[in-house]
Amino acid sequence: MVGSYKNYINGKWINSKSGKIFKSYNPANGSVLGTFQFSNSEDVDAAVDAANKAFKSWSETPPPKRAEILLKVAEILKKRKAELGKLVTQEMGKQLKEGLGDVQEAIDIFEYMHGEGRRLLGYTTTSELSKKFSMTIRRPIGAVGLITPWNFPIAIPAWKLSAALICGNTVVFKPATDTPLCAVKLIQVLEQAGIPKGVVNLVTGNGSEVGENIVKHPKLKAISFTGSVEVGRSIAENAGLKKVGLELGGKNPIIVMHDADLDLAVDGVLWGGFGTTGQRCTAASRVIVHRAVLHKFLNKLLFKTKQLTIGDGLKCDVGPLINAHQLHKVHRYVMIGIQEGAKLLCGGKIIEGKGNFYEPTIFTNVTKDMVIAREEIFGPVICVMPVSNFDEAIEVANSVDYGLSSAIYTNNVDLAFEAIEKLEAGLTYVNSSTIGSEVHLPFGGVKNTGNGSREAGIEGIHEFSETKTIYVDYSGKLQKAQIEDD
């Protein structure tokens, strides 16, 4: 029986004021997973009011006490990992081991941020004056808005929620309309862990009815968003003076040098290009290969690609795209690639029947000026780009407007470190794929990938807190910094 799910506002599960609902579907077979509230501005107002009302008490709760709840969340997620991992696969489509990994990432980040409850580090430093003490501390921002994507429907909300909560903020959370059930289940875990009423509020619905109202709401003090560049620009233009964190995607390169371990590189390209059906901001959509090993590399890549099974993520290697819109968007890009003169080596077709399935697709002879080499496709499409040397590889890698993740396969330590220095990206991997961030290290990018903010690790604390500078003068007299005494 399909369930009917409500918003979570001020500690209660309630219907939207709109009286409208929408459905969530399994992208592998089109079955309905549940009905959800199609919320409006009144619902957002109620959630914001609840968050602001709860802020004083929550922000004054000692951080180690806040941390106890986060640890309980991690413990509950561990017990429910198999169930929730399967749900991620059913609602988002990624293969089961990735669905389980999605939940494990949430476990990891809640455990990590639990530890930050004993730190929330500032720093001490000297003063230019005698008998004066100087330091910084971290302070919460207030009620904050979180807007998350569908490709990591538990992990990315967990990144944002855990950091926001340990810093003492309260939350209004809007998940993607394609994966609301995962969000509901995550909030139920927080509720079970004992989160006080009003501290976390869930409002489901679309971008224009819910997202825009969250972004523009005068009583929210910060916005954290993961999604497209187009929406990110709109948020930057409309959020006003709020603190805004944006993570907006990538067009990530893997460089394969002439001395690379080709079997290792092929495995990294397969994982980076076709893992999550290419629906990752860190997906390896561009593979820049030295001409000296191009033929051998392509043969190995094609052989392994053709062994991949396509179908329901519960039992196959490559699952469905999230919805029909994304399916046809990917196909349009493939047609553009053919028209531009790229050579299609395999794939390039929609798989007819139930579900949003697309063949794993590989192009070669792709040049840096082609649309398929510059724009984020967000599907199982790999563009192989031949180059003649390391300098050309770096030039091609840096030729896009994005700068999230990057990788190089080489056994030359000099080239590896030169790539680390020269690749324009927030993350660089050596002899590994563009996928694989760990929660205790910062995540984010440069150029159009975002606005300079980072998530996870200590940078997650910085995103969801403010720096306050403290001076304590114990001289017993008025001392004036930068002013000489008469």
Which residues are catalytic, by number? Answer: 247, 281
C-alpha–C-alpha distance, residues 278 and 255, integer Å: 18
Angle in degrees, CA 236, 116, 199, rounded to 5: 60
189 in Cβ contact with 154 (< 8 Å):
no
Please identify which residue in the block is written with the tokens 């991992």. Answer: 85
φ, ψ of residue 186 in degrees (nearest 5): -65, -40
Q: At what angle do helices 294-305 and 262-274 cross, to 10 degrees?
A: 50
85 in Cβ contact with 100 (< 8 Å):
yes
